[in-house]
Amino acid sequence: MNQLKNEIAHQLEMERMEWKSLIYGKDESLPYQGYERIGLKGCRSTEKRFKEYNINKYLDNTKTVLDIGSNMGLVSIYLTDYVKKVVGIEINPYLVNIGNAVKNELQLSNVEFTKTRFEDYNTDEKFDIILSLANDHTIDKNTQFTLFEYLKKIISLLKKDGLLLFESQATDVQNKFIRAVKFGPKVKVIEDSFTILERKKVESEYPTSIPHREFLVCKKK
């Protein structure tokens, strides 16, 4: 495990030196994702996030999952205990390297990571579940899709009756104080193509200006 921690530290250092886009994390001292299973602290604990999401009833060993903007891949890796297969896509090569390092350390065979933007991702595979966790709209401008385009592609990648698990960047109340797209109008766009099965507020550890986010479980119409 020490070798893994050294590799993660190396990739994060390379990211700080070489990556020209925004780095999500706390003052460069903590990565965005944390994972208690490997002793890695982060701005957002993966285990705590899933406790908040409370989605185990939608998961089983027949399900395939696509994780859009998988970051360090720790959400994808967490899900490997509950589903058949996970595919994580991420534009940042250093974060993809971390995901693969953790995958190899844990000897996992049911997760894979691809370096690509969601706009450029091509596959013939259809998924049972797609994760969009606070990344349909990014302040680094790496996501160029409009929400309509973004959802249209998600729909094309979902199986019949497939699920979209959608986390907001912020709530509308918080958006009065930070520069972000309001969430209420997004929900109306989502409802054009999905039936919302659950809508709830979840705690968010990062950034401190966003103590809560909205989380939706949506079924493809």
**What are the start-end ranges of the H helices in 61-118?**
74-79, 93-105
Which is more confidently placed, 42 or 136? 42
What tokens were used for 153? 């592609």
Residue 27 predicted with pLDDT over 80: no
Q: How far apart are CA 111 and CA 100, in angstroms?
A: 9
Q: How confident is the model at residue 212 (pLDDT cuts 50, 70, 90)?
A: confident
Q: How high is the pLDDT of residue 172?
A: 59
Average pLDDT rounded to a whole number, residues 209-217: 89
What tokens were used for 4? 């893994």
What tokens were used for 20? 């020209």
Domain ranges of the chain: 2-220
Q: How high is the pLDDT of residue 177?
A: 43
Average pLDDT rounded to a whole number, residues 62-85: 98
* pTM (2 d.p.): 0.92
Share of the chain above pLDDT 70, in %: 91
Topology of the domain comprising 2-220:
Rossmann fold (3.40.50)
